[in-house]
Amino acid sequence: MQTITYQGLKINQNIQSSIQDVLVVEAALQININDEPYTVVMRTPNNDQALIRGLLFAEDIYKSNKALIFEVVKEENEVPTIINVTISKEKLGKGYLNKRTLLSVSSCGICGKKELKDIKVEGEKLTKTTTFSSDLLHEMFLKMNSFQHTFKNSGGSHAAALFNKNYEFLTVKEDIGRHNAVDKVIGDLLIKDYLNHAKYLLVSGRVSYEIVSKAFIAKIPIIVAVSACSSLAVDFAKEFGICLIGFTREQKMTIYSNPSFVKTTKSDV
């Protein structure tokens, strides 16, 4: 259940009318690891296993390719509220020691971090492996948009999509949270053991630091956003070797880092 109908009072030019409006669902999910609470995320139900798999990967809790065991511990109205993940102790990454102690809400991916050092990401800079035409990005966005059914119904969800080096569509997921949608697509390909084919991450909203860090951990070299990019997102994209592009709409875009990835036909520089 990704949408639900609520009654509202619509006012248009001082004319009031009662409407039944479709809203995107935001619901809490408690994630347990080995039968102990780890964190609570606010998400749009559906693709919960992919969400958890992507989150554990990004948090350096579980990096193995071996399939995880998921168990729905509790649910309400057929929507899971508590899911337990079983991970052997020798497979638990160091990120497990940095447990989130606060609620992780849909708009904040780093809420609950204990110290400033906890938001750092370690790893070697990604190396440039491809160049691409900017014209192809718009075609890829059209493909992603064709799957945004929750957004079309409610206007309240974000989407993320992954494509391979040949610009072929791999997966797309929607969620009320931008970073949740990214976790879902990365987690989906992790479950399918296909993440190493992902080269382009498209997002329907803005790009913050954490989305860049998730892409870097997943070794995805190109991020393309419909909306703005934060200053920290640009700083880290430069440091990580990621090509970061924002405001991609109506045949326009702004390249903030590593512009050598992009082939364009004209230049005013």
Active-site positions read: 108
How many CB atoms sit inside 10 A of residue 146's CB?
Answer: 11
Residues 6+ apart with CB under 8 A from 56: 62, 68, 85, 87
- CA R_g for the chain: 19
Contact between residue 258 and residue 238 where contact means Cβ atoms under 8 Å apart: yes
74 in a labelled binding site: no
251 in a labelled binding site: yes
Structure tokens belonging to residue 176:
């009320």
250 in a labelled binding site: yes
Residues 6+ apart with CB under 8 A from 205: 158, 178, 225, 226, 227
For residues 18 and 259, what is the distance between their CA atoms, to the nearest angstrom? 50
248 in a labelled binding site: yes
**Residue whose C-alpha is closest to residue 205's, from 225, 175, 185, 177:** 225
Beta-bridged to residue 89, according to DSSP, are none
252 in a labelled binding site: yes
Residues 6+ apart with CB under 8 A from 179: 109, 208, 210, 211, 214
71 in a labelled binding site: no
For residues 27 and 36, what is the distance between their CA atoms, to the nearest angstrom? 20
Binding-site residues from annotation: 247-252
